[in-house]
Amino acid sequence: MKKTQSNVVTSLRQMILDGELKAGARLAEIPTSEKLGVSRTPVRIAFRALEQEGLLTKLPRRGYEVRSVSTEEIIGAVEVRGVLEGLAARQAAERGLSEDHQKALAVLLEEGDRILAVKELSESDLEHYQQMNKRFHDIVIEAAHNPAIHAALSRNEHLPFASASALAFDKAHMLREAKRFEFAHMQHHHVYHAIVNGLGTRAEGIMREHANATLGYINSPRNADQLTVISERDTQNT
Amino acid sequence: MKKTQSNVVTSLRQMILDGELKAGARLAEIPTSEKLGVSRTPVRIAFRALEQEGLLTKLPRRGYEVRSVSTEEIIGAVEVRGVLEGLAARQAAERGLSEDHQKALAVLLEEGDRILAVKELSESDLEHYQQMNKRFHDIVIEAAHNPAIHAALSRNEHLPFASASALAFDKAHMLREAKRFEFAHMQHHHVYHAIVNGLGTRAEGIMREHANATLGYINSPRNADQLTVISERDTQNT
DNA sequence: GAGCATAATATTGGATCCAATAAAAACTTG
DNA sequence: CAAGTTTTTATTGGATCCAATATTATGCTC
């Protein structure tokens, strides 16, 4: 298959996210182009794009290197994502959901219910849930009808999954902490409820708390029990 | 002077922001490279960078065009900036200001006081204030020690000043609305106070309100009188 | 053997070619 | 003269060259 420009950037990105290119590894245009079987031109462009995404840093006259992302940076990225998705949820609530978006969110919620109905989650269940989770968030962002949110998140997209975070997001570990998922999923229900009822401030608040839950997970993955629960009754107060 | 890569992107950006290249204008690599006296390579890179910044859109097989930015988009960008700077203010408060940052902010506040002491603001006063304003915000963002905020704002940097916004930010108009500046400057004082006293939530709230004030300005520039004022006494309650 | 000078190498930035392809223009035919 | 077809042109993506320059290695001197 012929490698094309965007192919080069996606395959390089994948290599970084998969850990095939470890943090600190040095990359130069010519060796990389030979390795991928393309010329320097697309590699050049790819390096700049990945630098933009925060995955590479330029070492002047010495090529690029795969950035090592510290836990602090990941936390920072998650916090940023939190406020932005909070804004998205608020705006989605204030502007009103389209029929399609509401339907899509409802379907995803049900999908999550089904996954979590089983008490012992398998790894594939986990992956399934993650996909559903991502789609849920994407739809909320989309429903805000604010392209600037998208733009602001673009540099944030892959960072939390880069090398250093392998630990924080370790799959086996998350499996043991499945309780978190139930809590997160409940928050999804509440966000949905707030949005469809036009409760912008509430939607924003829950969404931010939702991001915060992830942070709590990164920081102290052992305290899943102490999570407080937003009572369903509260959501009825309009 | 020899044009270099970053020169090409900055000069193209300037041309767009100055209105020399109007919204909707089509750009192709070869004509642009000839006009700037460089080869296609740096232009190619510049186009991609400016596309990333949201200033150009790619028309497949027909080159690029200067994006026309709608008022809605600018509002969206300002809202995004608001929540991000709100987060920055909160984190700056929570993490504590360094000696240097505190000093810098204090100096800027005083500078603003001096500018606004004069009742009839000249256009150069206005420009001076704007510079001070930008530095104030930059320092707050810096003080948050969260690189993800920077990254998220990068695509947001120039958008609000692109073509369509010429109207919204019209200088003569702003001059007439100088009252807004006093209000904004007072908010700066409150943000400063909240940050140095470690009042994260308050700092965030005021910063978001501050962004909102800009929005109010874009939407209805005539209502400068109805602004409510945060009482100075409130900021003493710790 | 250490330190400095010099040479070799690696690496990027810019320029130019070539090929593929889509858009636009010209042309032909009914 | 309109509509479809062919030709021309514009435009980008990729490959390769050349030049400038910083880093690394080598070697020379003391």
For the sheet with A26-27, list strands across it. Answer: A26-27, A64-66, A56-58
What is the least distance, in Å, from the CA of B171 to any CA of chain A?
25
CATH superfamily of B71-236: GntR ligand-binding domain-like (1.20.120.530)
Answer whether any strand C atom is within 7 A of the Cβ of B40.
yes
Cα distance between residue A163 and residue A22, in whole Å = 7
The pLDDT, as a whole number, for residue B179 is 78
Is residue A165 over pLDDT 90? Answer: no
Q: Where on strand C do bases come within 7 A of a protein Cβ?
A: 10-17, 21-24
Percentage of chain B exceeding pLDDT 90:
63
CB B160 within 8 A of CB B108: no
Nearest chain A CA: its distance from B82 CA (Å): 10
| DSSP classification of residue B95 | H
Do B83 and A87 count as a contact with CB atoms less than 8 A apart? yes
Which residue in B41, B50, B155, B158 has the most chain A C-beta atoms within 10 A of its own C-beta, making it the best mutation to test that interface? B155
Low-confidence residues in chain B, pLDDT < 50? 165-168, 221-238
Residues whose CB falls within 8 Å of the CB of residue A31, separated by 6 or more in sequence, listed in order: none
Residues in chain A with CB shorter than 8 Å from the CB of B52 are 52
Whether B43 has its CB under 8 Å from any CB of chain A: the answer is no
A68 touches B: beta carbon within 8 Å: no
ipTM comes to: 0.83
pLDDT score, position B161: 75
Chain B interface includes A143 (CB < 8 A) = no
What are the start-end ranges of the H helices in chain A?
5-17, 29-36, 40-52, 71-95, 99-117, 123-143, 147-154, 171-176, 178-196, 200-219
The domain spans of chain B are 5-66, 71-236
- pLDDT (0 to 100) of residue B215: 74
Per-residue pLDDT, averaged over A1-18, amounts to 82
A227 touches strand C (CB under 7 A): no
CA distance B17 to B163: 6
What average pLDDT does the segment A78-86 reach? 96
> For the structural domain made of A5-66, what CATH number should be given?
1.10.10.10
Q: What does the CA dihedral B11, B15, B21, B24 come to, rounded to 10 degrees?
A: 80
Establish whether the CB of B12 is closer than 7 Å to any nucleic acid atom in strand D. Answer: no
Structure tokens at B137: 């915000």
B221: left (phi over 0), alpha (psi -120 to 50) or beta: alpha
Instruction: Classify B76 as helix, strand or coil.
Output: helix
- Give the number of other Cβ atoms within 10 Å of residue A195's Cβ: 31
- Find the Å distance, CA of residue B226 to C1' of nucleotide D2: 64
Reference B20, options B63, B71, B55; nearest CA is B55
Report the pLDDT value the prediction gives residue A121, as an integer from 0 to 100: 82
- The residue among A219 and A29 whose pLDDT is bigger is A29
